[in-house]
Amino acid sequence: MTRVRWSLSVGWICGAAALVAGGCGPTNATTPLAPGYASIGSDLQEQRQLRRDAAEYLNQMRKDEYALYRANAVEALQSDPKLGEVAAREGIEDANLGVRFVAAMAIGQHEYSAAAPLVHALLRDESASVRAAAAFALKRNGTNVNLGLLAEMLRGDDPRAAGNAALVLGEIGDASALPLLRESIDFRSPRTTAQQQRIVQLQVAEAMAKLGDPFAIPRIRSELYSRQPEHGEIMALAASMLGSLGATRTIGDLRNIVAMWKQYRHSAEVRLAALTSLAQLGDPQPIELVLEYLGSTYRDRTNSSFIAIQSQAAHALGEYPAAEALPHLARVFDSSGEPLIRLQAAASILRLTAGLGAEEPGTETDEGLLTPDDLQ
């Protein structure tokens, strides 16, 4: 599944957008697992109960008053197609445009054909990004739609809309869009800052890579070598893209970020993005490197920077083997008092236990799992 990067802060760097904070390093003080959590990695019954608890929490949070939580919950529930479709159907009617965007993208990415007709109304949405997501959902579900809006967005004054247009073109997967993307990659509206332009350029390059452009990944890779601390957001975004794109030739670059973060003053966000991508690329580094950011020193802090870092660490654990990561995710899910951290832990739990939700209803292995009716 391609995680949506939504630029109105409905998620952190690997989900919907960047919540970038200061670059404090880990303390090497990981929190020991309580005896009750250690068995979760191998006990299927405990895993099923953990999955149910995570799904119920996500179902609650998709109805929360805070749009950031709703959007993350809708996206996280996509790890279960049946539950995800119900969440997406309701999400396209949300008052917040970020939630509508995530929900419409989910209908396209997972080809929820029964829900696709409901997206037609979003073609008249006030937000260009939501209209683009609606066009994508309809296109992926077999409806011919005019995609001219995407070209306008790429050359418009709104960098958020331009980035989302690139995302949609990459997800559609039609290589005929490459000339448009190549023409747009260096376009800059006089109303955007240099930082905003570089972020849009990365998003365009990511779309080009998905469509097979051989020069796109080297362009993304080059952003890993900035030595300016203020470019941490761009570095983290580039590092996160390389994993989802399957760029195995960049494993050495990502390893260097993990190993030499102190020498080059890489932020926690950059290092965690590299750790996540390495796990996605089949080269997971010791899980303790992620757990350092979930240790007691971090958990005792309550400002937004530390919440964002721990949320990102919880997401990273979702790319590690289930037997190794689930006990730690269960601890974070049970003990964190911060909704955003619990959301990311629950999302990772759902991804890692996806196979436990695939059985036919009525079988022994389906016992205790949520059904779509539970989400009504």
pLDDT, tens digit (0-9, with 9 covering 90-100), for 262-296? 777 888 999 999 999 999 999 999 999 999 999 76
The confidence score (pLDDT) of residue 43 equals 85
Helix and strand numbers, DSSP H then E, in the chain: 19, 0
For 100-126, give the DSSP string.
HHHHHHHHHHTT-TTTGGGGGGGGG-S
Tell me what the pLDDT averaged over the chain comes to.
Answer: 85
Buried b (16+ CB within 10 A) or exposed e, 253-276: bbebbbeebeeeebbbbbbbbbbb
The whole-angstrom separation of Cα 147 and Cα 12 is: 28
Is it the case that residue 364 has pLDDT exceeding 60? no
Contact (CB, 8 A) for 240 and 276 = yes
- What is the average per-residue pLDDT within 194-198? 91
Distance (Å) of CA 354 to CA 79, 219, 237, 363: 6, 34, 26, 16
Q: Which residue has the tokens 């006030």?
A: 126
- What is the average per-residue pLDDT within 129-145? 96
Phi, psi dihedral angles at 141 (to 5 degrees): -105, 20
Q: pTM of the full predicted structure?
A: 0.86
The whole-angstrom separation of Cα 86 and Cα 160 is: 27
Distance (Å) of CA 327 to CA 84, 250, 345: 24, 30, 11
pLDDT, tens digit (0-9, with 9 covering 90-100), for 222-243? 999 987 767 789 999 999 999 9
**80: DSSP letter:** S
More confident residue, 207 or 190: 207
At 29, list the tokens: 């003080």
Binned at pLDDT 50, 70 and 90, residue 34 comes out as low
Find all residues with CB under 8 Å of 67, minimum gap 6, and list them: 10, 94, 95, 96, 98, 99
pLDDT, tens digit (0-9, with 9 covering 90-100), for 62-105? 999 999 999 999 999 999 878 999 999 999 999 999 999 999 99
The confidence score (pLDDT) of residue 13 equals 31
More confident residue, 11 or 326: 326
At 165, list the tokens: 């247009």
Binned at pLDDT 50, 70 and 90, residue 30 comes out as low
